[in-house]
Structure 1
Amino acid sequence: MDRLLLVVADLVAIAVLTFGIYFPRHHRRDLVAAFLGVNVGVLAVAMILGSTSVGIGLGMGLFGVLSIIRLRSYEIAHQEIAYYFSALALGLLAGLSESVGVLHVALMALVVVTLFVADHPRLYSRHRQRELRLDSAHTDEEALRAHLEVLLGGRVVNLSVKAIDLVNDTTHVEVRYVVVGPASGTPESRPRSTLTPERAGGTGSRTAAEQGIRA
C-alpha cells in the first residue's frame, strides 16, 4: 500500500511539473513525452532495484547513464535540463523509498516548487540573451556595446564576440542585456527578420539559423 501511495505521489508531482509548470511556459510537446516517460521508467526500474539486493548504488548509476544518453543525443536548453533532472529525481525519490514518509513527500514537493520559482517568467523578466550576426565588422568592443544597446533597446551587461569576419564584414556576438524603457523598445517588438531566435541559456540551448542585422 505504501509503494502504491509513492507511485501516486510521483505521478501527481510529475504531472504538476510537466503540465502545470513546464508546458504552459515553454510549449515543447516533444519534451512532455520525454519527461513523463523518463520519470515513469525510472520509477519502475528504481522500485524493482529497491526490492532486490542490488541497492541504491546501481540506481544512482542508472541515473547517470540515462542522463548521459539523453544529454548527448540532442541539445536542450539549460532550463529544460533542470526539468529533465527533476523528472529523474522524482522517479528515484519514489522508486527507492520503502514507505511513504513526510520527508519523501516534502522532498518531491521541494523539487516541484523549486522549478516553479526558478523558472518563473517574472524572475529577471527584463533580462535577455541573444546571439546575433551583424552585417558590419566591429573591432572596438566599446563601440560595439554602444551599438548593441541602441539596437536592442537595453543596457548590455555582458557581451562575447564569437567571430569577426573582416572579409565579409560581419560580427558574430552573444550578448546579455537588460531591457529598459517601454515594451515597444524590446527586440521582441522588432521585425522577426532582423534578429536571431533568443538562446535559452548558453551551451545547452538549441541552435537556429542566424539571420543578418542591418547595422
Structure 2
Amino acid sequence: MAVGLVMDLVAIVTLAYGLYYRRHHRRDLLFAYVALNVGIFAVVSLLLVQRVDIAVGFGLFGVLSIIRLRSDEITQQEIAYYFVAIALGLVNGIAGATWPLTALLLDVVLLAVMYVADHRRLLGRTRQQIITLDVVHADPDLLRVDLEARLRAKVLHLVVTQIDYVRDVTVVDVRYVVPHARVGTR
C-alpha cells in the first residue's frame, strides 16, 4: 500500500499543482482535487483490505462527486480534472500495491493526456464566454458584428440564450478566437 500511496501522491501533486494550478490559478479547486484524490485512495485501500463489494465504493464516490460538482459552478475543464483526480486515486489504490508498474503506466498516461489536452498551444486561442449585452439586436449579423467589436476577436459561433425587451438586454453564449498577440492571457 505504501508504494501505491507514494505513486498516488506524486501523481496528484503533478496533476493539481504541476498542471491545473499553473494553468488555471484556482486555489479552491486545487485543494479539492488533492483532498478528493487522497480520500478516494484511502477508501479504496480500506475497501480492498476489508473485502467489501467494490460496487459500494464506486457508489460512494459517485454520490460524493455529484454532491461536490453540483455545489459550485465549474467548467467542463475543471470537471475533467476532477475525473482524473478520481481515476488516479482509484488506479493507485487498487493497483498500486499489487501491480505497481501497471499503476505507474496508467498514472503517466492520465497525466500526459491532461497535459496535452489542456495545453494552450493545442486550442489556446479559442475561448467561450457568456456575455450580457445592454442592447437587443434583431438582426443576427449585427449581433455578430457587435460582439466582434467588443471582444476584438473573430466570433466562431454564438447562441442567444436570453432576450429581455423590458431591460433591453441580450445574453449570448459566444465561441471566439483571439488574435495571436493575446494567446498568453489565459
The normalised TM-score by structure 2 is 0.89
Q: Which amino acid aligns with 2:99?
A: V
1:128 Cα offset (Å) = 1.4
Preserved contact between residue 14 and residue 87 of structure 1 (Cα < 8 Å): yes
The superposition leaves residues 20-50 of structure 1 with CA deviations (integer Å, 9 ceiling, x where unpaired) of 1111111111122211111111111101101
1:53 aligns with 2:47: no
1:170 Cα offset (Å) = 2.2
**Counterpart-to-counterpart distance in 1, 2:146 and 2:30:** 40
**Counterpart-to-counterpart distance in 2, 1:150 and 1:121:** 24
Unaligned ranges ≥5, structure 2: none
The superposition leaves residues 34-90 of structure 1 with CA deviations (integer Å, 9 ceiling, x where unpaired) of 111111111111011012322322222222122112112222121111111111111
**Counterpart-to-counterpart distance in 2, 1:73 and 1:165:** 28
Equivalent residue for 1:73, pick from 50, 57, 71: 71
Q: Which amino acid aligns with 2:101?
A: V
1:17 Cα offset (Å) = 0.7
Q: Counterparts of 1:61-140 in structure 2 under 5 Å?
A: 61-97=59-95, 98-140=97-139
Q: Which amino acid aligns with 1:104?
A: A
Q: Counterparts of 1:1-215 in structure 2 under 5 Å?
A: 3-97=1-95, 98-180=97-179, 182-183=181-182
**Counterpart-to-counterpart distance in 2, 1:133 and 1:44:** 44
1:149 Cα offset (Å) = 1.9
The CA RMSD over aligned residues, in Å, is: 2.0
SS in structure 2 opposite 1:42?
helix
Preserved contact between residue 125 and residue 180 of structure 2 (Cα < 8 Å): no
After TM superposition, the runs of 4+ consecutive aligned structure 1 residues lying more than 3 A away are 180-183
**Counterpart-to-counterpart distance in 2, 1:69 and 1:143:** 42
1:182 Cα offset (Å) = 4.6
Aligned length: 184
**Counterpart-to-counterpart distance in 1, 2:181 and 2:5:** 48
Greater share of helix: 2
SS in structure 2 opposite 1:123?
helix
Unaligned ranges ≥5, structure 1: 189-197, 199-215
**Distance change >3 Å, CA 16–CA 170, structure 1 → 2:** same
Question: For residue 194 of structure 1, what is the aligned residue in structure 2?
Answer: none
**Counterpart-to-counterpart distance in 1, 2:181 and 2:85:** 38
1:101 Cα offset (Å) = 3.5
Preserved contact between residue 43 and residue 95 of structure 1 (Cα < 8 Å): yes
**Counterpart-to-counterpart distance in 2, 1:116 and 1:96:** 24
**Distance change >3 Å, CA 47–CA 30, structure 1 → 2:** same
SS in structure 2 opposite 1:76?
coil
**Counterpart-to-counterpart distance in 1, 2:76 and 2:46:** 31
**Distance change >3 Å, CA 9–CA 181, structure 1 → 2:** closer
Query: What is the percent sequence identity of the aligned residues?
Result: 47
